[in-house]
Amino acid sequence: MEPLTTDATPPNHAGPPPLERLVSIDVSVATVRALNNELHHPSAAAYEVLQPQGAHAIAAGIDQALTVDIRGHAGYYCAGMNDGGQIVVHGNVGTGVAENMMSGSVRIRGDASQSAGATGHGGLLVIEGSASMRCGISMKGIDIVVGGDIGPMSAFMAQAGRLVVCGDAGDDLGDSVYEARIYVRGKVGALGADCIEKPMRDEHLAELAALLTAARLDHDPRAFRRYGSGRTLYHFAAHNSAAY
Amino acid sequence: MCGIVGLHLRDPALYPRLGGLLETMLCQVVERGPDSAGVAVYGDQRRCPEGYAAVSLLGAPLGLPEALRKLLAGQPDVMSTEAGDTTVLAAPVSVDELVAAVRVAAPAALVVGSGTDLTVYKGIGHPRALAKTYDLAHAQGWQGLAHTRMATESAVTPQGCHPFSVGPDQCLVHNGSFANHATIRRELIADGASFDSENDSEVGARFVASRLAQGDDLDEALRLLCERFDGFYTLLVTSKDGFAVVRDAIACKPAVIAETDAWVAMASEFRALADLPGIDHARIYEPEPEKVYAWNR
């Protein structure tokens, strides 16, 4: 796996950062479509979004190193597909925050609904509160750090990346997990199929410490336990051939 | 999809604003189900005064209030409110007497709600327009719910519209689809139930009503529903006593609950709650799978 990067990935195809000014967009006045159009063709490097009121797809599809502060609660797919943006939601978010993130960072000051960080390839998602079910489902390289608890069925088929949970994890954690690494400080309800507890070696303590530092969460890495794939589902088992 | 919103008021100072708050909530989930919308209001003295029973009907014939007056003991005046496809009738008699008289006077009409505290409205069309048809903005009361429907298991008709109210002062709204509803429908029919629609959600409502009639409370009835029903569901169930929410084991149908000292609210999405008074200080959370959340008056 790639080593941890705590800094934002530089913009991948944009020119120099635009003007150094803060642009405020009130979503109760402008549409989300207008907001996202501005963020896709930015005239500034820093934005704040006012009155999000739970609207969907706020700040989705950013592909440059913008900073965006969303002041309030956001709806579904907030910061989806983020590629380089530094996005902070000063509130809660709905389903699928930072889904398919490529790079950059997304920080949620409150709680997140289902499927946070789903299918993410890279970047850092921090949820300071708790995340609901299916957190990190099918994650493919994203790092997710949750300050509170995560719901059932989290990290289902998680392929790569790290999921850090400072609270408890719900049932069926890591069902059919591939090579993502899962660290949980509190209780785990039940492990999913082929998810097992693994020893914490020095390199794991080191990468966990770096993730907690990046997330600005102050916990002792030694208080966490590590979970990952038992690798029994990787290959077709010859003794199952009789089933066909 | 389908959108659900519900509001259970704790602070009586908000009772006059119930309808306005519900309409705002409903209009935030229109995209989740734009084909029809239904509403239930508890405690709307405009439509069902103290000491009255109310029946909500689809397909009420002309002259029904007068026909009912003649059938009811003491020949009381019958209040009638037309709201699109729905007619709400109220009279100072018992619920059973009023329902029995309606079935005699209008055998072809469909009773979609009855009780001493409950009025139900159903119709097809855009939820925003239906809210106007129902005059939801001016409704008062202590509890209400609304549903916007994206039909999957049965046709877009007023009959298929939620809420399903099949027991006195009871309502159920459903986002999702039941897989084994035909089996449970047959069992309920064998036990004497009769059905008004082909809708899967009606089976859930009849199941809950049957359990409540056997003495279960909302919490017990919904726990048993989780055992018996397969499929996807987020349910909001209301009665004269309160308000309950439950989701299936997979919980892929959304639900958000918010609570303050002044109210408890539930909705498919947060945006429906965003304009509620005091939302900034509300406790906001998602109900866990197969856990029943219930509040009583």
**B241-265: average pLDDT:** 95
**Minimum-distance CB partner of A73 among B251, B254, B274:** B274
Q: Provide the β-strand partners of residue B278.
A: none
Closest CB to B271 among A54, A152, A153: A54
Whether residue A15 is predicted with pLDDT greater than 70 in this model: the reply is no
Per-residue pLDDT at A17 exceeds 70: no
Assigned token pair, A102: 């490529």
A115 close contact with B: CB closer than 8 A: no
Q: Which residues of B touch A94 (CB under 8 A)?
A: 254, 269-270
Contact list, A70 vs chain B (CB under 8 Å): none
The answer, yes or no, to whether residue A3 has pLDDT greater than 60, is no
Residue A6 reports pLDDT greater than 60: no
**A81-132: pLDDT as tens digits:** 999 999 999 999 999 999 999 999 999 999 999 999 999 999 999 999 999 9
Q: Which of B30, B269, B273, B280 to mutate to test the interface with A (most CBs of A within 10 A)?
A: B269
Rounded CA-CA distance B273/B257 in Å is 9
B50 Cβ partners below 8 Å, 6+ apart?
Answer: none
Tell me what pLDDT residue B154 has. 79
Best of A58, A133, A175 to mutate (most B CBs within 10 Å, chain B): A133
Q: Which of A53, A73, A132 sits opposite B286 (nearest CB)?
A: A132
Q: Considering only CB atoms, which chain B residues are within 8 Å of A75?
A: 269-271
A117 interfacial to chain B (CB closer than 8 Å): no
Q: Which residues pair with A69 in a beta bridge?
A: A48, A88
Determine if residue B269 is left, alpha or beta; phi over 0 gives left, psi from -120 to 50 gives alpha, anything else beta: beta
Per-residue model confidence as pLDDT tens digits over A138-157:
999 999 999 999 999 999 99
CA B155 – CA B138 distance, rounded (Å) = 30
Instruction: Name the region of B48 (left: φ>0; alpha: ψ -120 to 50; beta: rest).
Output: beta
Q: Which residue of chain A is at minimal alpha-carbon distance from B257?
A: A113
- Residues 6 or more apart whose Cβ sits within 8 Å of residue A202: none
When pLDDT is averaged across residues B72-101 and rounded to a whole number, the result is: 97
Q: Quick count: other Cβ atoms within 10 Å of Cβ A67?
A: 18
How many angstroms separate the CA of residue A232 from the nearest CA in chain B? Answer: 25
ipTM of this model? 0.77
- Could you tell me which of B240, B254, B238 has the C-alpha nearest to residue B293? B238
pLDDT at B193: 94
**In a 10 Å sphere around its CB, with 0-12 CB exposed, 13-18 middle and 19+ buried, how is residue A139 labelled?**
buried
d(CA A179, CA A233): 12
Whether A244 has a pLDDT exceeding 80, the answer reads no
The predicted pLDDT at position A16 comes to: 52
Please say if B2 is a catalytic residue: yes
Confidence label for A243 from pLDDT (cuts 50, 70 and 90):
confident
pLDDT at A18 (0 to 100): 57
Residue A149 DSSP one-character state: -
Architecture of domain B49-116: 2-Layer Sandwich (3.30)
Provide the β-strand partners of residue B150: none
DSSP A174: T
Per-residue confidence (pLDDT) for residue A10, from 0 to 100: 46
Of A75, A76, A113, the CB nearest to B286: A113
Greatest Cα pair distance in chain B: 54
* Lowest-confidence region among A198-202, B20-24, B80-84, B287-291: B287-291
Q: With beta carbons less than 8 A apart as the criterion, state whether B81 and B91 touch.
A: no
pLDDT tens per residue across span B30-59: 989 999 999 999 999 999 999 999 999 999
- Contact status, residue A222 vs residue A201, Cβ threshold 8 Å: no
For A238, what's the count of Cα atoms within 13 Å in the CB-facing half-sphere? 0
C-beta atoms of A111 and B284 within 8 A: yes
A6: left (phi over 0), alpha (psi -120 to 50) or beta: alpha
Topology of domain B3-47+124-296 in CATH is Glutamine Phosphoribosylpyrophosphate, subunit 1, domain 1 (3.60.20)
* In the predicted structure, residue A21 carries a pLDDT above the cut 90: no
Per-residue pLDDT, averaged over B111-136, amounts to 96
> What average pLDDT does this structure show over B278-297?
92
Mean of pLDDT values over A158-181: 97
C-alpha closest to that of A116 among A165, A70, A67: A165
Asked if A95 reaches chain B (Cβ–Cβ under 8 Å), the answer is: yes
Tell me the Ramachandran region of residue B237: left when phi exceeds 0, alpha when psi lies from -120 to 50, beta otherwise: beta
Structural domains of chain A ordered from first start: 22-224 (2.160.20.60)
Confidence grade of residue B152 (pLDDT, cut at 50, 70, 90): confident
- A196-238: per-residue pLDDT in tens? 999 999 999 999 999 999 999 999 999 999 999 999 988 888 8
- A126: β partners: A107, A145
Given the DSSP bridges, would you call strands B86-91 and B79-83 parallel, antiparallel or unpaired?
A: antiparallel
Residue type at position A53: Q
- Quick one: what percent of chain B has pLDDT higher than 90? 91
**Residues in chain B closer than 8 A to A151 (CB atoms):** 286, 288
Chain B interface includes A133 (CB < 8 A): yes
Q: Report the alpha-carbon distance of residue B138 to residue A38 in Å, rounded.
A: 40
Query: What digits encode the pLDDT tens for the residues B179-214?
Result: 999 999 999 999 999 998 888 999 999 999 999 999
CA B6, CA B26: separation in Å to the nearest integer?
A: 9
CB atoms within 10 A of CB A51: 14
Question: Closest approach of chain B CAs to the CA of A53, in angstroms?
Answer: 5
| Percentage of chain B lying above the pLDDT 70 cut | 100
Q: What is the SS3 assignment for chain B? A: CCEEEEEEECCHHHHHHHHHHHHHHHHCCHHHCCCEEEEEEECCCCCCCCCCEEEEEECCCCCHHHHHHHHCCCCCCCEEEEECCEEEEEECCCHHHHHHHHHHHCCCCEEEEEECCEEEEEEECCHHHHHHHCCHHHCCCCEEEEEEECCCCCCCCCCCCCCECCCCCCEEEEEEEECCHHHHHHHHHHCCCCCCCCCHHHHHHHHHHHHHHCCCCHHHHHHHHHHHCCEEEEEEEECCCEEEEEECCCCCCCCEEEECCCEEEEECCHHHCCCCCCHHHCEEECCCCCCCEEEEC
What does the alpha-carbon distance between residue B24 and residue B210 come to, in Å, rounded to a whole number? 33
The verdict on a CB contact (< 8 Å) between B289 and A95 is no
Predicted pLDDT of residue A7? 46
Separation in Å, CA of B234 to nearest CA in chain A: 15
Give the span between the Cα atoms of B200 and B205, in whole angstroms. 9
Taking the Cβ of residue A99 and every Cβ of chain B, the question of whether any pair is shorter than 8 Å is answered with no
Contact A75 B286 (CB under 8 A): no
Q: Would you call A152 an interface residue with chain B, using a CB distance cutoff of 8 Å?
A: yes
Domain ranges of chain B: 3-47+124-296, 49-116
Nearest to A94 among B28, B269, B288 (CB): B269
**Does residue A160 contact residue A178 with C-beta atoms inside 8 Å?**
yes
Amino acid at B2: C
Chain B residue with minimum CA distance to A55: B271
